[in-house]
Amino acid sequence: MSATTTLNEIDAPGADVTQVRRTNRMPGEKRFGLLRILAFAALVSMAVLWLLPVFWALVTSFKTETDAASGGLDLIGPSGFTTQAFEAILSQGNVYIWALNSLWTSAVITAITVAISALAAYAFSRLDFKGSRWIFLAVIASIIVPSQALIIPLYYQMLTFNMVDTYWGLILPQVVMAPIVFILKKFFDAVPVELEDAARVDGAGRLRVFFSVVLPLSRPILGAVSIFVFIQAWNNFLWPFLIINDTTLMTLPVGLQTVLSAYGVQYSQVMAQAVLAALPLVIVFLFYQRQIVKGVATTGFGGQ
Amino acid sequence: MTDVMADRSAVGPDPEVTPGETRSGPRPAPPTQRQARRRGQLAAWAFLAPFMVAFVLFVIWPLIHGIYLSLTDQSLTGTGGSFIGLQNYSEALSDAVMWRSIGNTVWFTVITTVPLVLFALIMALLVNTGLPGQWLWRLSFFMPFLLASTVISQIWVWIFNPEIGAANEILSAVGLEPIAWLQTANVDLISIAIATIWWTVGFNFLLYLAALQNIPTLQYEAAAVDGAGPWRQLFSITLPQLGPVTGVILILQMLASLKLFDQAYQMMDGNSSESSRPIVQYIFEAGFVGYRFGYASAISYIFFVLILLVGITQMIVLRRRKEDS
């Protein structure tokens, strides 16, 4: 093992952040030494600091508007605990449509992105073709291009395609993620060729080999990048905000943004809305923390 | 592509690499030649086609078309579109608002990058000591990263509310003067930076945690046998090994901070202030509020050059460091 931790080692699919080893203690070091107590205190205070904003949003969302607007740091307002704000938000209907739009467009973006990236990555990794090296370099180089610098020509393009204010206009420009191709290529590079050769000798074509040998082997890495792509798509703001004007087509982040000013000073409703919007991913995270943490850490170094 | 490129990449009569095979896994040459090669090329393009179509349509073409647009007076409403040469660029370079936006963006990058790397490192080191409650620590530090920019903006606008926000309540509780966080020039960008640090530190934290897991336990055991205490181990094993990772995190972080828009726009509720407007927001305003697509394209390219400069500089520095060590 080399003395330095290289990029390759970090985003190897084996790097499991959830498996924290407990052996950083010296042999003979006391279990409850002063250092450990200090570390624990530091950790607790940082965690409290980081949980506080969300906690405060939660507290506010269960107050009446009058209590929220009167300020103060009390956990339950003078008028007591209430779910009024949530009832008001949920009775307005649009939140459901936006959540549904976010869910299915993010799922479609994830499916398309991972599918086309895996196919391309396999070609770059295993198939030799004219210009392979240069095309791959071009794809990798494009990682440096900020998507924000492309919004003007992309929007213009969507105008000419008649895709402004459509789901396809929202989805299609989001499916090109060069870092995913890079990560998958690296994974395929590490898969022993012999496995595929056996199937090839049996007369299976490239596509057959890809689907019946390579893909099943790649399930963990595909899962990891899918989680990453889904989170990105679910939270994406700028492009959906530009391309969608129709209220019924909006995703959750964009929809919520438009009503923020409409509510103005209704603080507990705004916080109830924030809590509701945060809920889906937080619940999923509570159940699948291990997979999500691993997926993000594995994909993370590929770039954003 | 030029001929030189095509020549270099063409599958030549190279005895080492058999056509149709991979660089990573050389296998014994199959008996067929030309036909197999052609079939191989076809298969390769079948695999590549879906991605490449999307790549050309949604990255390469806009990239090229953006240059053209930046040389015209195209407007969003469809009028204009005549060639005006470099006028947009010369206007942008003498546009004080654009320079202020770039200045804001760079300043934001400076004040977010250091805490975002340092806090992430401290969090990861603390969590990696194996203290009980792993599940809770990861949740606390990483969960904000899962929230949409809209959600975190709403939460922090509420916290930063000048009259009844929690931030000022806490300040007055400890006897300090309240601050109009998002309504004061120059303070507004710092407030946005605070929210951003809280929001995205979890991502860097995970990257550091992954890197810490990769340090072989053996090294700690050897150091312990040699009598090195925990502090000694931290400074002579852990931190040096995190050097390369820190380089990567720095690059990713600076590039991410330079692309500031979502939370800045939303926390200011769309009303940009002179001191908080990042360059991406100026692109947005020029194009979608002022309808000047040509001018906005020119600013987009200036922004792109800024990103390129920062990215390339960092890569060179990183490579040189690697060679030195």
Could you report the per-residue pLDDT of B159-209, keeping only the tens digit for each? 999 988 889 989 998 989 999 999 998 999 999 999 999 999 999 999 999
Residue B41 has, within 13 A of its CA and on its CB side, a CA count of 12
Q: Give the closest residue to B257 by CA, choosing from B192, B202, B188, B301.
A: B192
In a domain, residue A116? The reply is yes
For A49-118, what is the HEC assignment? HHHHHHHHHHHHHCCCHHHHHCCCCCCCCCCCCCCHHHHHHHCCCHHHHHHHHHHHHHHHHHHHHHHHHH
In a domain, residue A69? The reply is no
List own/partner pairs for A52-56 with CB under 8 A and 24 or more apart.
A53/B144, A53/B155, A53/B156, A53/B159, A53/B198, A54/A278, A54/B143, A54/B144, A54/B155, A56/B155, A56/B158, A56/B159, A56/B166
Q: Extract the tokens encoding B137.
A: 């620590």
- What is the span of the domain harbouring residue B213? 91-324
Of B135, B288, B325, the CB nearest to A289: B135
Q: Give the closest residue to B49 by CA, choosing from A222, A175, A119.
A: A119
ipTM value, please give it.
0.86
Of A40, A50, A157, the CB nearest to B62: A157
Residue B19 predicted with pLDDT over 60: no
B75: three-class secondary structure by DSSP: strand
Q: What is the pLDDT of residues A224-280, one digit of tens each?
A: 899 989 999 998 999 999 999 999 999 999 998 887 656 566 888 889 988 988 888
Q: Which residues contact B22 (CB under 8 A, 6 or more apart)?
A: A125, A126, A127, A128, A193
Q: How confident is the model at residue B3 (pLDDT cuts 50, 70, 90)?
A: very low
Q: What is the pLDDT of residues B255-300, one digit of tens each?
A: 999 999 999 999 998 777 889 999 999 999 999 999 999 999 999 9
Residue-averaged pLDDT of chain B: 86
Of A24, A68, A154, the CB nearest to B220: A24
Q: How far is CA A102 from the centre of its chain?
A: 13
In a domain, residue A52? The reply is no
Residue B23 predicted with pLDDT over 60: no
Residue-averaged pLDDT of chain A: 84
Q: What is the pLDDT of residue A30?
A: 52
Q: Do B41 and A130 touch (CB under 8 A)?
A: yes
In a domain, residue A261? The reply is yes
Q: Extract the tokens encoding A24.
A: 């950083």
Q: Give the closest residue to B148 by CA, choosing from B255, B258, B262.
A: B262
Of A139, A285, A304, the CB nearest to B252: A304
Q: What is the pLDDT of residues A200-209, one digit of tens each?
A: 888 778 888 8
Q: Do B51 and A119 touch (CB under 8 A)?
A: yes
Q: Which residues contact A15 (CB under 8 A, 6 or more apart)?
A: A9, A294, A297, A298, B210, B213, B214
In this prediction the pTM is 0.86
**What is the count of structural domains for chain A?**
1
**What is the count of structural domains for chain B?**
1
In a domain, residue B242? The reply is yes
List own/partner pairs for A1-4 with CB under 8 A and 24 or more apart.
A1/B216, A3/B241, A4/B241, A4/B243, A4/B244, A4/B325
In a domain, residue B121? The reply is yes
Q: How confident is the model at residue A67 (pLDDT cuts 50, 70, 90)?
A: confident
In a domain, residue A269? The reply is yes
If 0-12 CB within 10 Å is exposed, 13-18 middle and 19+ buried, where does residue B46 land? Answer: middle
Query: Which of chain B's residues have a Cβ under 8 Å away from the Cβ of A238?
Result: 261-262, 280, 284
- What is the span of the domain harbouring residue A259? 94-300
Q: Which residues contact A93 (CB under 8 A, 6 or more apart)?
A: none
In a domain, residue B17? The reply is no
Task: Give the number of residues written for chain A.
Answer: 304
Q: Are B62 and B304 in contact (CB under 8 A)?
A: no
User: What's the gap in Å between the CA of A235 and the closest CA on chain B?
Assistant: 5
Q: Do B213 and A274 touch (CB under 8 A)?
A: no
In a domain, residue B270? The reply is yes
In a domain, residue A85? The reply is no
DSSP 8-state assignment for residue B133:
-
Q: Which residues contact B115 (CB under 8 A, 6 or more apart)?
A: B197, B201
Query: Which of chain A's residues have a Cβ under 8 Å away from the Cβ of B145?
Result: 296
Q: Extract the tokens encoding B147.
A: 């929230």
CATH code (residue B146): 1.10.3720.10
Is B30 or B219 the better-scoring residue by pLDDT?
B219
Residue B38 predicted with pLDDT over 70: yes
Query: Which of chain B's residues have a Cβ under 8 Å away from the Cβ of A207?
Result: 43, 46
What is the amino acid identity at position B282?
Answer: Y
CA dihedral of residues A265, A266, A267, A272 (deg, nearest 10): -150
CATH code (residue A267): 1.10.3720.10
Q: Extract the tokens encoding B139.
A: 């949740």
Q: Do A271 and B198 touch (CB under 8 A)?
A: no
In a domain, residue B9? The reply is no
What would you report as the CA-atom Rg of chain B, rounded to the nearest whole angstrom?
26
Q: Do B287 and A152 touch (CB under 8 A)?
A: yes
